Structure 1
Amino acid sequence: MFEIPATDIISLTWFAAVWVSYTWYADRGPWRQHSLRAVMHTHREEWMRQMVLRDNRVADVNILRNLLQGVSFFASTTLLIMVGLLTILGSSDRAIEIVRALPFAEKTTLVQWELKLLVLGIIFVHAFFKFTWALRQFNYCSVLIGAAPKSADNAYAQRAAEVSTNASKDFNQGLRAYYFSLAALGWLIHPWVFVAATTLVTAVLYLREHHSTTLKILTPGGVE
């Protein structure tokens, strides 16, 4: 029977609780109306309102193609990272020795090492599912653009904007997983580094999504 140190359990619990709490705060909480996602939704609605009035929608298709390329890149990259994690898992003994050579690195047993790799693997599996679902939703949005009537149909434009925003939400959640995976790398050094990195990543995400200069610029009337 193996034993996981209490510091590892505490740091992992903090990581999971902070990630889940911040995701709820940013995507479901009442404060989400004052975020980049909410502001961008108003721009997406305006985009779709303009789209339904156009005869030629090549520009709209090109915009959507750019969005799809970004999501596709991250989905493919996530698969490569998961393959890399499996490769590291197959040479755990050598990898543990490399980590132990790092300054301030905690002594790590094989069980601890495999647990940390498992957590990283779960993070990237989550990211992959988010990216691929975002990819499918952007594809659905492209169908809506192709099928859009040439009239000032605000209800149709709003539905298309909602699909685009939902795709963007899942894409952002996939990117958020990448940020938290960087925090999880701190666990390879020490559990308290893991806790500190998780807190720092959350603070960076919060400031960027709720108090950034970009948010002020994108907010209608926010910058003169």
Structure 2
Amino acid sequence: MDADSLHWHDAFALGVFVVAWAMFSQAASGRFVRRMSLTKLMNLQREEWMRTMAQRELRMIDTGIMTGLQQGTAFFASSALIALGSCFALLQSSEEVLSLLRDIPFAGPPDRAVYEMKVLGLMVILAYTFFKFGWAYRLFNYCSILIGAVPMARDAEPGSMESGLLHAARMNVIAGKHFNSGLRGLFFSIGYLGWFVGPLVLVATTMLILFVLVRRQFFSDARAALLAA
């Protein structure tokens, strides 16, 4: 395989990867497809949670849930940052990795410049996921403040409780949106690793990740459980 055909295949595979990621993100958000996604169903549950919270005298349950959401988000943010740091080790160990790639079946002729470009691409994905998780963590913190600002039902002025819970619900939905974007970044970064073997492997791993995510969003038992409730 000559260099020109290799570069053409790389561009095509990368295009498939980007389009698959973008299209799935839009579909999970409720665009392109009429079928309700798991994400959309959970957004409705977030709003219902805030309405239930507003009626509770004691909100320790709600603060506990928010703490769990923040801790989970912080874990993934830390994981993305650690993975991002590991990419620098990949750049420093280029020769060792290229030597390993030469022994992998179906891998194209290794080229250091192309390899380093792929590592930089992986770093961009991981940086994107880190910032998404970091922003989601901050938004969940804001949501905790808004929950505290929702007045008690017995003391609330007309309309103030409804306004407060809507603010908290909206902030929670937005935080969940950015958290899910970070998760998708992590999932697709696993598919991106196939590019280090070759463009055809990248297409295959991208389709595999896409299949798993589509099944979870639109055909999973978790989605069925929410619809049955």
Q: Alpha carbons of 1:30 and 1:163: their partners in 2 closer, same or farther (altered >3 Å)?
A: farther
* Alignment partner of 1:118 out of 108, 117, 120: 120
Question: For 2:75 and 2:35, how far apart are their aligned partners in 1?
Answer: 29
Q: Deviations over 1:114-172 (max 9, x none)?
A: 11101111110110111011101100100011111012733322221121111111111
* 1:181 aligned partner, one-letter code: S
Specify the SS of the correspondent of 2:43. Answer: helix
Secondary structure at the aligned position of 2:187 is classed as helix
Instruction: Find the aligned partners of 2:31 and 2:177 in 1 and give their Cα distance.
Output: 14
Structure 1 runs (4+) greater than 6 angstroms displaced: none
Equivalent pair of 1:32/1:38 in contact (CA under 8 Å): no
Please name the residue that 1:171 is paired with: 179
The question of whether the paired residues in 2 share the 8 Å contact of 1:123 and 1:177 is answered with yes
Deviation at 1:31, TM superposition (A): 3.3
Task: Give unpaired runs (5+ residues) of structure 2.
Answer: none
8 A Cα contact 2:66 2:140, kept in partner: yes
Q: Distance in 1 between matches of 2:48 and 2:162?
A: 10
Specify whether residues 42 and 53 from structure 1 end up closer, same or farther in structure 2 by C-alpha distance, changes over 3 A only.
Answer: same
Does the 8 Å CA contact 2:132/2:182 hold for their aligned counterparts?
A: yes
Instruction: Indicate the SS of the match to 1:55.
Output: coil
Query: Aligned equivalents of 1:39 and 1:28: distance in 2?
Result: 10
Once residues 178 and 148 of structure 2 are traced to their aligned partners in structure 1, the CA distance between those partners, rounded to angstroms, is: 23
- Displacement of 1:30 in angstroms is 5.3
* Pairing 1:216–2:218 present: no
TM alignment of 1:14-53, pairs within 5 A? 14-27=16-29, 29=31, 31=33, 34-53=36-55
| Equivalenced residues, count | 220
1:1-224 alignment runs, 5 A limit? 5-27=7-29, 29=31, 31=33, 34-151=36-153, 153-219=161-227, 222=228
Q: CA deviation at 1:42?
A: 1.9
* C-alpha distance in structure 1 between counterparts of 2:165 and 2:117, whole Å: 47
SS of match in other structure, 1:5: helix
Structure 1's 30 and 9: CA in aligned 2 closer, same or farther, altered over 3 A?
closer
After superposition, the CA RMSD in angstroms is 1.8
Q: 1:85 to 1:70 in 2, by over 3 A?
A: same
- Give the letter for the 1:187 counterpart: W
Structure 2 CA distance for aligned equivalents of residues 134 and 115 of structure 1:
29
Task: Render the CA deviation track for 1:72-127: whole Å, top value 9, x for unaligned.
Answer: 00101111111100111012111111122223322210011011101111110110
- The share of aligned pairs that are identical, in percent, is 38
Determine helix, strand or coil for the equivalent of 2:33: helix
Q: How high is the TM-score relative to the length of structure 1?
A: 0.92
